[in-house]
Amino acid sequence: MATSIGLILIIGLLANTLFTKMKLPGLLGMLIVGILAGPYAFNIISSELMSVSADFRKIALIIILLRAGLGISRSDLKKVGGTAIKLSVIPGLIEGFVIATISIVVLNFSFVEGGILGFIIAAVSPAVVVPQMLYFNERGIGVNKGIPTLILASSSVDDVVAITVFSTFLGLYSGSHVNIGIKLLSIPVSIILGLVLGIVAGFILVNVFKRYHMRDTKKALYVMGVAIIITALESALKSYIEIAGLIGVMSIGFIILEKAPDMAKRLATKFNKIWLFAEIFLFVLVGAQVNVRVAFEAGLKGIVIVFIGLIGRSIGVFISTLKTSLNLKERLFCIISYLPKATVQAAIGAIPLSLGVASGDTILAMAVLSILITAPLGSVLIKLSAHRLLDTG
């Protein structure tokens, strides 16, 4: 496994540098490295590393979401709050149900199978979106209207909604008694519980750091450890109660920024340095989950469904940004920023197949195809459009 880690670091870093020099997102190069090095291509990555891939990816995602929380101030959040809530819910629901409906016609799915597929694909990827929004925030691109903060605040909640509705449809398929009303009610409850956990953890950490002197590196490690425990609690309590762990992770950073802004800035610098290491593992290992041959099985029908879903999502973003201060160019940027998919699809795309869903192989192929289409397309378009569509302040 050590050899695989070394190869991932060297080749991933080279790919990142090469694509950056080509004026393309570095993550695109790392995704391609992962696809080629993964078990479905040249199989360079050891099976031991692949078996713990999900944990590595989760830790990397936690690091970037902590960094996001450390960059979201209360004033910025107030500016975008209402719009962020709409963006968290409306685009994903429209995309999910559009795909559910179109798959009945194109793939001969039942509506429940279509719902399973729709809400696997509907989740936007914070792993792709968040790093770029932080980059724009730091450089003052779109900050006058809080656009990077808007996308940061809404993208992780979007995932909570998609995964909750996906699990509802999965329950309906398996024949287990699912109360849809209670499931939908669990979405705001899980978000509130995640917020409470993160806020409490943030207050405790701030008080400990103020009372006991320690280096910022140690503080960053304590914060990361607490964030990992919060996501572990989410997994441990999943059968009893839903907790939006990633929302809690972002909340920790938000509270630290609110209560100790100087400390937050120093911690943000530390997490930026850690992210240089973590992003390589995140995107290479996400790429390693992608079986290109499976994606090809979805064929032209799959491509059509993915793009129709993206049209539905785009309409949802347009509706969510109506009656806001955003102009047409800025709204178009929000639409582009909500295109990429990767993390959730790689994590849950194979679950229906493993649980014996009749169309599970097709659903997996569609999930993989959505990554191959939207992750490169979305990340490139975000990078290229930002300077053209947003105020550079």
13-69 confidence digits (pLDDT tens) = 999 999 989 888 888 899 899 989 988 889 999 999 988 888 888 899 899 899 989
Question: How much is the pLDDT for 181?
Answer: 66
CB 271 within 8 A of CB 257: no
Give 293's pLDDT tier (boundaries 50, 70, 90).
confident
- Tokens 């290229």 belong to residue: 384
- Tokens 């309409």 belong to residue: 315
* Phi-psi label, residue 213: left if phi above 0, alpha if psi -120 to 50, beta otherwise: beta
Give 175's pLDDT tier (boundaries 50, 70, 90).
low
Residues 6 or more apart in contact with residue 43 via CB below 8 angstroms: 37
Question: Mean pLDDT score of the chain, rounded to an integer?
Answer: 89
Q: Is the pLDDT of residue 349 over 70?
A: yes
CA angle 33/36/41 to nearest 5° reads 160
Min mean pLDDT across 234-243, 301-310, 323-332 is at 234-243
User: 0.95 exceeded by the pTM?
Assistant: no
CA 224/CA 221 separation, integer angstroms: 5
Percent of the chain whose predicted confidence (pLDDT) is above 90: 52
Question: How much is the pLDDT for 70?
Answer: 92
Question: How much is the pLDDT for 190?
Answer: 87
Give 271's pLDDT tier (boundaries 50, 70, 90).
very high
Residues 6 or more apart in contact with residue 369 via CB below 8 angstroms: 295, 298, 302, 303, 306
CB 370 within 8 A of CB 121: yes
Using CA atoms, how far residue 188 sits from 2, 56, 285, 347, in Å, is 42, 28, 31, 23
CB atoms within 10 A of CB 59: 17
Using CA atoms, how far residue 286 sits from 40, 120, 280, 289, 367, in Å, is 13, 15, 10, 5, 13
CB 46 within 8 A of CB 9: no
Q: Is the pLDDT of residue 179 over 70?
A: no
CB 305 within 8 A of CB 97: no
CB 306 within 8 A of CB 121: yes
Question: How much is the pLDDT for 261?
Answer: 93
**Assigned fold of 54-286+298-389:** Na+/H+ antiporter like fold (1.20.1530)
Q: Is the pLDDT of residue 219 over 90?
A: yes
Q: Where are the domains of the chain?
A: 54-286+298-389
CA 293 to chain centre: 24
CA 47/CA 288 separation, integer angstroms: 11
More confident residue, 313 or 77: 313
Question: How much is the pLDDT for 72?
Answer: 84
Min mean pLDDT across 180-189, 201-210, 288-297, 344-353 is at 180-189
Q: What are 321-343's pLDDT values in tens digits?
A: 998 889 999 999 999 999 999 87
Question: How much is the pLDDT for 82?
Answer: 86
Is residue 177 helix, strand or coil? coil
Crossing angle of helices 74-106 and 245-259, in 10° steps, is 160
Question: How much is the pLDDT for 176?
Answer: 62
Q: What are 372-389's pLDDT values in tens digits?
A: 899 989 999 999 999 899
CA 376/CA 128 separation, integer angstroms: 9
Phi, psi of 340, deg, nearest 5: -70, 140
CA 375 to chain centre: 11
Give 155's pLDDT tier (boundaries 50, 70, 90).
confident
Highest mean pLDDT among 187-191, 203-207, 340-344: 203-207
Question: How much is the pLDDT for 196?
Answer: 94
DSSP state of 324: S
Question: How much is the pLDDT for 297?
Answer: 79
Q: 3-state SS of 288-300? A: HCCCHHHHHHHHH
Q: Show the tokens assigned to 346.
A: 């790689």
Question: How much is the pLDDT for 287?
Answer: 86
In terms of C-beta density within 10 A (0-12 exposed, 13-18 middle, 19 or more buried), how is residue 212 classed?
exposed
More confident residue, 290 or 94: 94
CA end-to-end span of the chain, whole Å?
Answer: 46
Give me the DSSP letters along 228-243.
HHHHHHHHHTTTT---
Using CA atoms, how far residue 7 sits from 4, 19, 259, 283, in Å, is 5, 18, 41, 14
- Tokens 């572990």 belong to residue: 232
Q: Show the tokens assigned to 168.
A: 């509802």
